[in-house]
A and B are shown apart, each in its own frame.
Chain A
Amino acid sequence: MEPMVLNTENFDKEVLEADKPVLVDFFATWCGPCKMLSPIVGQIAEENEDIKVGKVDVDEEEDLARRFGIEAMPTLLIFDKGEVKAKQVGFAPKEKILALIKE
């Protein structure tokens, strides 16, 4: 599945109330490392059915970025049962992201 586009309307339902871990990619269209991370996040979405993957454009969704204290691009948050379980700031290779999710 392709990463789901998240916004203030669908975030709580799709992420906080999800029945499996959710990887959320907070990105900006102007950020180089975000563009590198984006295909990796896409691959994780395609290859892992037990993980839900979504993305938040921080310029479109300033409230969501503020709500989760996002201050650097890109930031990945991993949610489980409505709570932030892990955080990755900056580019990371696929193995590292998968390890974070599985921890």
Chain B
Amino acid sequence: MANADIIIIGAGPAGLSAAIYAARSGHSVIVLEKNAYGGQIINTPSVENYPGIKNVSGFDFATELYEQAQSFGAEVRFVEAKAFWREDGNWLVDVGKEILSCRALILAAGASNRLLGLPHEKDWVGSGISFCANCDGAFYKGKDVAVAGGGNTALEDAAFLSNICNKVYLIHRRNAFRGEKHLSDKLREKENVELVLNVTIEELLGEERLGGVRVRDKETGEVRDITVNGLFVAVGQVPATDPFSEQLNLDEGGYVIAKEDGKTDQEGLFVAGDCREKALRQLTTAASDGANAAISAIGWLEG
């Protein structure tokens, strides 16, 4: 007998929304989470665009959602799904200490911060490297920092940090920003923000911790060392589909190919949230994906 009718990988907004729909339909549900419930939203201090809620902290939202899913009978286990495969009409999930089985599997593993891919980048998190300006910005009060990236997150991070820090370098590999124009226009007006454009970050400088970054101009080849206490990396996201890539039909960005109903090309396997190929990745669309994937899974189980 299977451990559950439906196993959901990931306890972010998509996975927990799926858990609510699946558990309310009377099916047994296990949600697997390798880190903290809530996913990326827990780092957002204030959510103001979720329909029906004027303002809520990401943490409060996640906690409410987590408790809501459990109140309908979903079980959340804090283990890492390392691999999954299909056997005798069930899906099996390797969680390290044991192998769990289910009839339908929903992948809602989300996305994580893209790395620059430079030596020390991971070791120096908390020692000069940060992926969250809102979380860690206050520690760099009055200091010089850099932000890497050119999207909305990078622009918002730079604006936020410019109010706290002495100087902010915004480092981007292109001449133009991908983010919204009104955000970049605002930055250009700030006296303590310097735009360092059309460069690649070649090296993270420092001994025990970050002391600066070395950038190279893509046109002239000129090298410049910028002394900073902190580097906020905001170069986008990567879907957490890597461990399961052999099982999945992925697009070139690594996102699972599936339509709004979350059905994949495999029997009993569904996908929801940021790891699905789609145009908009927001709290609202994660919740919507979770509901859709759960309904598809229930239809498949009962069909």
Contact of A32 among B57, B136, B140, B230 (CB under 8 A): B57
B interface footprint on A72-103 (CB within 8 Å = 1, 0 otherwise): 11010000000000010111111000000000
Q: Which residues of A contact B (CB under 8 A)?
A: 28, 30-33, 35-37, 65, 69-73, 75, 87, 89-94
Residue of A nearest to B41 (CB): A32
Q: Which residues of B contact A (CB under 8 A)?
A: 34-38, 42-45, 57-59, 62-63, 78, 125-128, 130, 132, 135-136, 138-140, 209, 230
Distance from B133 Cβ to chain A, minimum over Cβ atoms (Å): 11
A-B contact count (CB 8 A): 59
Residue of B nearest to A88 (CB): B126
Question: Is there an interface contact between A71 and B139, defined as CB atoms closer than 8 Å?
Answer: yes
Residue of A nearest to B135 (CB): A73
Contact of A36 among B37, B44, B140 (CB under 8 A): B37
Which among B36, B45, B127, B230 has the greatest number of chain A C-beta atoms within 10 A? B36
Contact of B45 among A30, A90, A91 (CB under 8 A): A30
Query: Could you write out 27 A-B pairs with CB less than 8 Å apart?
Result: A31-B135, A32-B42, A32-B43, A32-B57, A32-B59, A32-B62, A33-B43, A33-B59, A36-B37, A36-B38, A36-B59, A65-B139, A69-B127, A70-B126, A71-B127, A71-B136, A71-B140, A72-B126, A72-B135, A72-B139, A89-B125, A89-B126, A90-B125, A90-B126, A91-B36, A93-B78, A94-B78
Question: Is there an interface contact between B230 and A93, defined as CB atoms closer than 8 Å?
Answer: no
Contact of B42 among A36, A65, A72, A94 (CB under 8 A): A36
Question: Is there an interface contact between A71 and B230, defined as CB atoms closer than 8 Å?
Answer: yes
A73-B135, A91-B35 known; A32+B58 contact, CB < 8 A: yes
CB-CB under 8 A from B128, the residues of chain A are 71
Distance from B58 Cβ to chain A, minimum over Cβ atoms (Å): 6
